[in-house]
């Protein structure tokens, strides 16, 4: 009998609706809070990006000024020219448009003011040290020192500010004092430019320049060493705009940005940049809503930081945004959850009604279920057996998957292959019949003799798995390929061993890559020769062979002569081609058993071993030199490149061999000193000479700082009047341990290392100062002769530096004579002529020293603005006993007089030499016959007596 169903709402439906609405409310709250947190985090990240970008931009501005300041730290501040400053800073102004200008403020004492004004007025008449008055620039009042605007870029728009004393300016003065007190660069507060008051929001970064070598540890020391400062004038709005624009941070319509700058005391600062509309205040209703339901933006971030003493404050505001743009997820959660709760309650009500209807059917079907249950039990047992088989299959599949690669193979209990997939034969170009039914060593008989083969067979006998077994196979096409294989033992259900199975893969490309990497690591990339690493290994092997047989071993260090000339004239591409050609010639000129390696640059090393049937002799070295000296065609031009070779011999007696390459290098250097294009065998005396050279070089680097150099002076006499008319300054080195070091021991080394440039500058300044001191003491005016080295002659600022020395010492240009050797003019005659005319325009005298011993053409004398020829002492010393030498001296005197030049003979030591020179109308003489070079005090006494 069917019961009547009730239409009332079930308790389950009501509980479902309540639970659904509750969960929906909780989810809506959680999602809304997450949405607001995400928006707030995104806002903070965008704000942090802008603050970080602004800090990096300010740091970049400081770095740019630091780079400019390095110009005055690298070179002495007084040697930096206005042209150098302009060439250095103009590219920086173009790259950083927010930098209005670069400047160098030079500190002048009052007694230096007149000299500075005189130097500047040569180019810009009327320029003086000036102050800024109410009506414009006026001459500066007398002060103990001035901080003068000396160099600046751009120059032409700001020329009127040249000589402006920035020290009295309040902002500049305060900042300079802070810089010297702290020893760090600093920035001024925001100012208006003097030349453009309408352009506001500008600040200046100042960085000090100290006297080279002066101590700067304390504020007092920094004040004493302060010689000026470099400055960068930066427009703050443009700086902020460029920094944000370059970082792509300007195109955010949801943010309003305000940037303030001011001193540490002024926390509010000055607004220097603004983007985005000022956010409107939220309605009063907003304060009663939770933040996660806030429609109006209340997000704001304010960050402050300090750069070089200038306080910066960045405020970022979030602009109003639509509610749904940020809360779409929470609204969707609320609507969807409510709808789902209603549908769930309806479903529960329907199910409740249906459950009553189904209940009466349950009893009727219980009997049927009992019968069905018995059948299911039988099915479950069958399914368990099936699952067990599936698990075993799955385990096998997983193991094969772990070992999977290009192919699969199986072996029987005798390790013979029973199955190999086709990938192996296709990739290796192999026949199946050569492998199926055979063990692995059937095709690799070397496994029976090698350690790796025996180790693999031992693992098979021990029934152990193996992996990454690598071996090569040559296919039917004659190509050798590399393979790798992995395997594991196979057992049946009773635990009996049934063989092996595994996978394999081809690794030919990987092995070739490894071989290439190995080759690159041990060979020179340009020439293909062994590099330094492989050279050491080959040398060790060669020494071991020499020790076993008692044979000799030669190590040759080969250095190309004039290789730099090829690089400088034709470029590095031609230089590389030359190196490859030389490498090929070296390899072809030695035996295959010998080693040729590239050490570095244009230096090569050859290791030659001696064999019982082939002994080593100097003819081998000569053959190498002849092979390298053959002409080389580079870009249509024929070059002949010679070499200098040093040879170190190892006798094969078990003696230490670790210094063979160093000994060959010492011998090569000795060959270089002999004029190049020759070879030298190492001798222990060479090592002593090298150690002496190293000792002299080390001491020479500190000699100038320790004031160990002194000048001696040798008089030059006029033969017509007998009066001293000139003096030559000669450098001497008074070493505290070595005593008076001969110039022959250190001048050439100073030339080679480049130390001759600062030493020569010291000689020039000291000699000119001494000449002016003698003039001031009332002694007769003398012409001071100073030698110029090749390194000095090649300096780009030679003329400016000499002019600066003359201005500094006060010596008239006519009182200075520069002595030049003929070798200075060989490489670039046109440049030499132009430079000599520039020197001549200064008013100094020019002489050619050691005339007749160089390589220049006599035709150069017609184009060189020379005043004096100096006859070398090698000619003068033999005029009284060698008619040929006497004829040369007479010819030089006649040649000089025909060209309207004066002649000075050096090295006059006897009365006979003096009579000969006087008889042939030589103008002036100097030498030991009259006086040796003496210190300044003795020379002054000589002048007075």
pLDDT at 16 (0 to 100): 84
Q: Is the per-residue pLDDT at 807 higher than 70?
A: yes
Q: Which two tokens stand for residue 762?
A: 């010291």
Which of 333-347, 474-488, 913-927 comes out lowest in average pLDDT? 333-347
| pLDDT beyond 90 at 726 | yes
What is the chain's mean pLDDT, rounded?
A: 82
At 260, the pLDDT band (50, 70, 90 cuts) reads: confident
C-alpha–C-alpha distance, residues 514 and 722, integer Å: 83
How many other C-beta atoms are found inside a 10 Å radius of the C-beta of residue 63? 11
Residue 461 has pLDDT above 50, yes or no: yes
**SS3 call for 412:** coil
In the structure encoding, which two tokens stand for residue 141, read together? 């009042």
Higher pLDDT, 298 or 197: 298
Given the structure tokens 């034969």, which residue do they identify?
Answer: 425
844 closest CA partner among 878, 819, 877, 875: 819
Of 357-366, 718-727, 778-787, 934-943, the poorest mean pLDDT is in: 357-366
| pLDDT tier, 264 (very low <50, low <70, confident <90, very high otherwise) | very low
Q: Three-state DSSP class for 706?
A: coil
Q: CA angle 349-355-357, nearest 5°?
A: 115
Q: How far apart are CA 473 and CA 485, in angstroms?
A: 13
pLDDT score, position 398 = 46
Does the pLDDT of residue 196 top 80, yes or no? no
Please state the pTM of the whole predicted model. Answer: 0.42
- In terms of Cα–Cα distance, which of 511, 502, 422 is closest to 473? 511
pLDDT greater at residue 400 or residue 388: 388
Between CA 582 and CA 589, with CA 583 as vertex, the angle to 5 degrees is 85
798 versus 296: the higher-pLDDT residue is 798
**CB neighbour list of residue 741: distance below 8 Å, 6 or more residues apart:** 696, 732, 733, 734, 735
Residue 425 confidence class, pLDDT cut points 50, 70, 90: confident
Per cent of the chain over pLDDT 70 is 89
Confidence of residue 288 (pLDDT cuts 50, 70, 90): low
Token pair belonging to 629:
């000296």
Q: Which two structure tokens, joined as six digits, stand for 489?
A: 């033992």
Asked if residue 465 has pLDDT above 90, the reply is: yes
Do the beta carbons of residue 294 and residue 286 sit within 8 Å? yes
pLDDT band at residue 395 using 50, 70 and 90 as cut-offs: low
Backbone φ and ψ for 628, nearest 5 degrees, come out as -75, -25
Predicted pLDDT at 771: 94
CA gap 867, 889 in Å, rounded: 18
Rounded to whole angstroms, the maximal C-alpha distance in the chain is 164
User: Average of pLDDT values for 551-572?
Assistant: 83
In whole angstroms, give the CA distance from residue 539 to residue 549. 15
How far apart are the C-alpha atoms of 128 and 111, rounded to whole Å?
14
Report d(CA 717, CA 720) in Å as an integer. 9
Specify which residues 307 forms β-bridges with. Answer: 310
Contacts of residue 121, Cβ cutoff 8 Å, sequence gap at least 6 = 127
**839-890 per-position pLDDT tens digit:** 899 999 999 886 765 544 566 677 788 899 888 888 888 887 778 888 888 8
Q: How far apart are CA 879 and CA 862, in angstroms?
A: 27
Respond yes or no on whether the N-terminal peptide bond of residue 50 is cis (omega within 30° of 0). no
Q: Alpha-carbon torsion 468, 469, 474, 477, what sign?
A: negative
- What's the mean pLDDT in 658-680? 83
Cα–Cα dist 795/793, whole Å? 6
Radius of gyration of the chain, Cα coordinates, nearest whole angstrom: 46
Query: Helices marked H in 556-657 — which ranges?
Result: 563-570, 572-589, 618-628
In angstroms, the CA 310 to CA 635 distance is 60
Token pair, residue 3, equals: 């019961």
Q: What's the mean pLDDT in 294-312?
A: 73
Note whether 564 and 601 are within 8 A (CB).
no
Q: How many whole angstroms separate alpha carbon 737 and alpha carbon 747?
A: 18
The answer to whether the beta carbons of residues 356 and 3 sit under 8 Å apart is yes
End-to-end alpha-carbon separation of the chain, Å?
A: 159
Tell how many helices (H) and how many strands (E) occur in the chain.
Answer: 26, 32
Residue 773 has pLDDT above 50, yes or no: yes
Mean pLDDT value of segment 638-647: 87
User: Token pair for residue 548?
Assistant: 């076993």
DSSP letter at 9? Answer: P
Lowest mean pLDDT among 308-322, 460-474, 495-509: 308-322
* Residue 265 DSSP code: S
- DSSP string of 559-572, one letter each residue: EETTHHHHHHHH-H
Q: Is the Cα dihedral 561, 566, 568, 573 positive or negative?
A: negative
* For residue 638, pLDDT beyond 90: no
Residues 134 and 111 sit within 8 Å (Cβ to Cβ): no
pLDDT value at 7 more than 80: no
pLDDT of residue 738: 76
Q: Residue 716 in contact with residue 926, Cβ under 8 Å?
A: yes
- pLDDT at residue 268, as a whole number: 47
Highest mean pLDDT among 262-271, 304-313, 372-381, 757-766: 757-766
pLDDT of res. 294:
52
Lowest mean pLDDT among 142-156, 296-310, 428-442: 296-310
Of the chain, the percentage scoring pLDDT greater than 90 comes to 14
The pLDDT of residue 922 is 93
pLDDT digits (tens, 9 = 90+) for 60-113: 888 887 878 877 877 777 778 888 888 888 888 888 888 888 898 889 888 888
pLDDT of 279: 66
């Amino acid at each position: 009998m069917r019961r009547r169903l009730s239409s009332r709402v079930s308790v389950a439906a009501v509980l479902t609706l309540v639970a659904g609405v509750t969960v929906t409310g909780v989810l809506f709250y959680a999602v809304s809070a997450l949405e607001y947190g995400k928006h707030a985090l995104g806002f903070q990240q965008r704000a942090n990006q802008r603050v970080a970008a602004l800090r990096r931009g300010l740091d970049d501005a400081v770095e740019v000024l630091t780079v400019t300041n390095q110009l005055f730290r690298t070179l002495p501040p007084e040697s930096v020219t206005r042209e150098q400053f302009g060439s250095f800073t103009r590219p920086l102004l173009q790259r950083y448009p927010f930098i209005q200008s670069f400047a160098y403020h030079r500190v002048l004492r009052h007694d230096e003011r007149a000299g500075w004004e005189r130097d500047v007025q040569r180019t810009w008449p009327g320029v003086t040290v000036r102050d800024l008055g109410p009506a414009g620039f006026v001459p500066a009042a007398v002060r103990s020192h001035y901080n003068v605007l000396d160099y600046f870029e751009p120059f032409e728009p700001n020329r009127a500010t040249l000589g402006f004393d920035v020290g009295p300016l309040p902002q500049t003065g305060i900042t300079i004092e802070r810089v010297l007190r702290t020893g760090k660069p600093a920035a001024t507060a925001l100012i208006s430019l003097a030349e453009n008051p309408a352009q506001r929001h500008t600040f200046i970064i100042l960085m000090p320049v100290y006297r080279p070598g002066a101590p700067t540890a304390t504020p007092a020391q920094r004040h004493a060493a302060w010689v000026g400062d470099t400055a960068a004038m930066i427009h703050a709005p443009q700086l902020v705009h460029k920094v944000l624009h370059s970082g792509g941070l300007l195109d955010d319509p949801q943010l309003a940005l305000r940037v303030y700058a001011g001193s540490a005391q002024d926390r509010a600062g000055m607004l220097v940049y603004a983007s985005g509309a000022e956010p409107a205040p939220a309605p009063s209703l907003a304060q009663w809503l939770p933040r996660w339901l806030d429609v109006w933006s209340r997000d704001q971030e304010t960050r402050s930081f300090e750069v070089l003493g200038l306080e910066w404050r960045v405020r970022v505001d979030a602009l109003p945004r639509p509610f749904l743009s940020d809360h779409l997820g929470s609204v969707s959660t609320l609507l969807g959850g409510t709808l789902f709760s209603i549908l769930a309650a309806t479903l529960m009500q329907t199910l409740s009604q249906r459950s009553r209807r189904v209940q009466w059917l349950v009893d009727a079907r219980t009997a049927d279920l009992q019968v069905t249950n018995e059948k299911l039990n039988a099915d479950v047992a069958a399914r368990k057996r099936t699952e067990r088989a599936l698990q075993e299959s799955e385990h096998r599949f997983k193991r094969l998957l772990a070992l999977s690669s290009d192919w699969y193979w199986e072996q029987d209990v005798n390790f013979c292959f029973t199955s190999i997939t086709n990938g192996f034969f296709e990739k290796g170009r192999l026949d199946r019949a050569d492998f199926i039914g055979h063990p692995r060593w059937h095709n690799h008989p070397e496994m029976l003799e090698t350690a790796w083969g025996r180790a693999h067979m031992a693992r098979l006998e021990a029934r152990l798995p193996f992996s990454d077994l690598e071996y090569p196979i040559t296919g039917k096409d004659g190509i050798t390929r590399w393979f790798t294989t992995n395997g594991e033992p196979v057992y049946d259900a009773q635990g009996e061993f049934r063989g092996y199975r595994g996978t394999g893969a081809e690794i030919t490309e990987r092995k070739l890559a490894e071989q290439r990497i190995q080759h690159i690591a041990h060979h020179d990339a340009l020439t293909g020769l062994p590099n330094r690493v492989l050279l050491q290994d080959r040398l060790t092997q060669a020494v071991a062979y020499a020790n076993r047989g008692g044979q000799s071993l030669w190590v040759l260090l080969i250095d190309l002569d004039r290789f730099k000339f090829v690089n400088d004239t034709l470029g590095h591409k031609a230089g590389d081609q030359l190196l490859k050609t030389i490498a090929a010639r070296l390899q072809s000129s030695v035996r295959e058993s010998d080693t040729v390696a590239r050490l570095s640059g244009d230096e090569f090393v050859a290791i030659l071993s001696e064999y019982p049937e082939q002994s080593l002799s100097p003819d081998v070295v000569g053959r190498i030199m002849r092979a390298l000296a053959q002409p080389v065609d580079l870009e249509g031009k024929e070059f002949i490149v010679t070499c200098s070779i040093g040879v170190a011999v190892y006798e094969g007696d078990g003696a230490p061999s670790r210094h063979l390459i160093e000994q060959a290098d010492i011998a090569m250097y000795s060959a270089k000193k002999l004029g190049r294009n020759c070879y030298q065998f190492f001798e222990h005396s060479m090592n002593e000479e090298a150690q002496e050279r190293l000792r002299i070089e080390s001491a020479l680097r500190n000699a100038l700082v320790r004031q160990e150099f002194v000048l001696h002076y040798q008089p030059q006499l006029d033969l017509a009047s007998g009066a001293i008319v000139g003096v030559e300054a000669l450098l001497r080195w008074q070493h505290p341990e070595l005593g008076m070091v001969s110039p022959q021991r250190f001048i050439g080394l100073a030339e080679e290392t480049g130390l001759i440039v600062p030493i020569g500058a010291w000689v020039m300044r000291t000699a000119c100062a001494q000449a002016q001191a003698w003039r001031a003491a009332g002694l007769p005016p003398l012409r001071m002769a100073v030698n110029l080295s090749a390194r000095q002659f090649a300096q780009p600022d030679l003329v400016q530096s000499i002019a600066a020395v003359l201005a500094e010492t006060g010596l008239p240009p006519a009182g200075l004579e520069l002595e030049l050797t003929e070798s200075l003019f060989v490489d670039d005659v046109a440049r030499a002529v132009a430079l000599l005319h520039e020197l001549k325009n200064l008013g100094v005298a020019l002489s050619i020293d050691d005339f007749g011993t160089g390589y220049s053409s006599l035709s150069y004398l017609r184009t060189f603005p020379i005043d004096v020829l100096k006859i070398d002492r090698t000619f003068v010393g033999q005029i009284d006993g060698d008619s040929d030498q006497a004829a040369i001296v007479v010819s030089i005197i006649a040649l000089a007089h025909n060209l309207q030049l004066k002649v000075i003979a050096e090295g006059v030591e006897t009365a006979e030499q003096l009579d000969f020179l006087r008889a042939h109308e030589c103008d002036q003489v100097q030498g030991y016959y009259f006086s040796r070079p003496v210190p300044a005090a003795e020379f002054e006494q000589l002048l007075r007596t």
